[in-house]
C-alpha cells in the first residue's frame, strides 16, 4: 500500500481548500436544505423530514420532466455530433496558413450573450421573422406560419448555443491524429472512405465523446432556452427548479430538485470518466 507524500498534500492543499469551500460545502447546504419544510411563500422551517423527497418520488410530473430532459439532451447531443463533425474535420485537415481565422470564427459566438443568441431565433422563426417574411414575399403563404414555441425551436436553440463545444472537442481530437495514417491506409488498398471510417473516425471518438458529454450536461442543466423558445409543455427539469425557487419561493423543494439534477448529470460525468477519462475534456477546455 503506497503512502501519500506529505509534500504533495501541502502543494494540493490550496486547491483542495478551494474545492471544499466553493463546491463541497455549498452542495452540502443544498442537501441539508432539501429536508427543510416550506410553510408559506419564502417561509421555511428547519426540520429533518422527507416530504420534499417523497413528493419528488411520487409525483409523475417530476418523472415526466426527468425523462423529457434526458430524451431532449440525447437528441441535441446526437444532432450536435453529426453537425459538428464536418466543420471540425474541415478545420483540422485544412492546409491553409489562416487556420487561426477559422478557429476565431468558431469561438466568436462565445463573445455574444447566451440570452441574445437565444432571442435571435424569435426574429428568425417568429410571425414577423425572416422565414415568414420570405415565405409571404414569395407568395408561398398568405399568413404567418406558426413555427415558434415548440420542441423544434428549443432543439434549434440548443444546437445553436452548444454546437461550438462539440466542434472544438472533435477538432482537438482530429488535430492530434498523425496525418500519415490515412495516406498509409490508402497505399494498402483502402479507399478514402474506408481510410476515414477505419482510421480517422475511431481515433477521433474520444473527442466526440468529450463533446457529447459537454453538450449533454449543458443541455440537461439549461432552463433559459426552453423558457424563451419553448411552449407550456416544453419545460425541462431545470425549469422546474427555476419555478420552485423564483416563482413559488419554495426553496426546500428547489434544493431537492437541484440536488436530484446534480446527481443525474453527475452520474453521466462519472460514467464518462470511467469509460473515457477526463484528459480529452481538459485538453479541449485548456
List all residues 6 or more positions away from 154 whose beta carbon is below 8 Å from its beta carbon: 72, 225, 226, 229, 230, 234
Give tens-digit pLDDT for 114-157. 889 899 999 898 888 888 888 888 888 888 888 888 899 999 99
Which range of 89-103, 159-173, 265-279 scores highest in mean pLDDT? It is: 159-173
Helix (H, G, I), strand (E, B) or coil at 40: strand
pLDDT tops 60 at residue 282: no
Percentage of the chain exceeding pLDDT 90: 36
State mean pLDDT over 4-10: 73
In the chain, how many H helices and how many E strands?
Answer: 16, 2
Strands 43-45 and 37-40: antiparallel
Count of beta carbons in the 10 Å neighbourhood of residue 69: 24
E strands within 25-105?
Answer: 37-40, 43-45
d(CA 85, CA 203): 13
Contacts for 271 with CB less than 8 Å, ≥ 6 apart: none
274 vs 87, higher pLDDT: 87
User: Tell me, what's the pLDDT at 74?
Assistant: 95
Side-chain-facing half-sphere of 53: CA atoms under 13 Å? 11
The C-alpha atoms of residue 147 and residue 170 are separated, in whole angstroms, by 32
Q: Which of 8-17, 30-39, 85-94 has the lowest mean pLDDT?
A: 8-17
Please give the Cα distance from 86 to 171 (Å, whole number): 10
pLDDT of residue 187: 85
- 426540520: which residue's cell? 47
* Domains annotated on the chain, with CATH: 61-114+158-285 (1.10.3720.10)
Phi, psi torsion values for 153, nearest 5 degrees: -65, -30
What pLDDT was estimated at residue 1?
Answer: 43
Which one is predicted more confidently, 148 or 286? 148
Helix axes 99-107, 151-175, angle to 10 degrees: 150
Specify the pTM.
0.86
pLDDT tens per residue across span 54-90: 999 998 899 999 999 999 999 999 999 999 999 999 8
Amino acid at each position: 500500500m503506497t503512502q501519500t507524500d506529505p509534500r504533495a498534500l501541502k502543494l494540493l492543499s490550496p486547491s483542495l481548500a478551494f474545492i471544499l469551500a466553493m463546491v463541497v460545502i455549498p452542495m452540502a447546504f443544498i442537501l441539508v436544505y432539501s429536508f427543510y419544510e416550506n410553510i408559506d411563500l419564502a417561509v421555511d422551517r428547519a426540520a429533518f423530514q422527507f416530504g420534499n423527497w417523497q413528493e419528488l418520488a411520487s409525483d409523475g410530473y417530476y418523472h415526466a420532466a426527468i425523462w423529457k430532459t434526458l430524451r431532449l439532451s440525447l437528441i441535441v447531443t446526437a444532432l450536435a455530433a453529426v453537425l459538428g463533425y464536418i466543420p471540425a474535420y474541415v478545420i483540422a485537415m485544412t492546409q491553409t496558413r489562416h487556420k487561426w481565422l477559422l478557429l476565431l470564427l468558431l469561438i466568436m459566438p462565445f463573445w455574444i450573450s447566451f440570452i441574445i443568441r437565444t432571442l435571435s431565433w424569435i426574429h428568425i422563426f417568429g410571425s414577423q421573422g425572416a422565414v415568414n417574411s420570405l415565405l409571404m414575399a414569395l407568395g408561398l403563404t398568405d399568413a404567418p406560419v406558426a413555427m415558434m414555441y415548440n420542441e423544434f425551436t428549443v432543439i434549434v436553440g440548443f444546437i445553436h448555443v452548444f454546437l461550438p463545444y462539440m466542434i472544438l472537442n472533435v477538432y482537438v481530437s482530429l488535430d492530434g491524429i498523425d496525418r500519415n495514417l490515412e495516406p498509409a491506409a490508402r497505399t494498402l488498398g483502402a479507399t478514402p472512405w474506408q481510410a476515414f471510417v477505419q482510421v480517422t473516425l475511431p481515433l477521433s471518438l474520444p473527442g466526440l465523446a468529450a463533446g457529447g458529454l459537454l453538450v449533454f450536461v449543458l443541455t440537461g442543466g439549461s432552463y433559459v432556452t426552453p423558457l424563451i423558445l419553448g411552449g407550456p409543455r416544453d419545460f425541462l427539469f431545470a425549469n422546474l427548479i427555476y419555478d420552485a425557487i423564483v416563482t413559488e419561493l419554495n426553496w426546500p423543494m428547489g434544493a431537492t430538485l437541484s440536488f436530484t439534477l446534480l446527481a443525474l448529470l453527475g452520474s453521466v460525468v462519472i460514467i464518462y470518466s470511467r469509460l473515457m477519462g477526463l484528459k480529452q475534456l481538459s485538453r479541449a477546455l485548456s
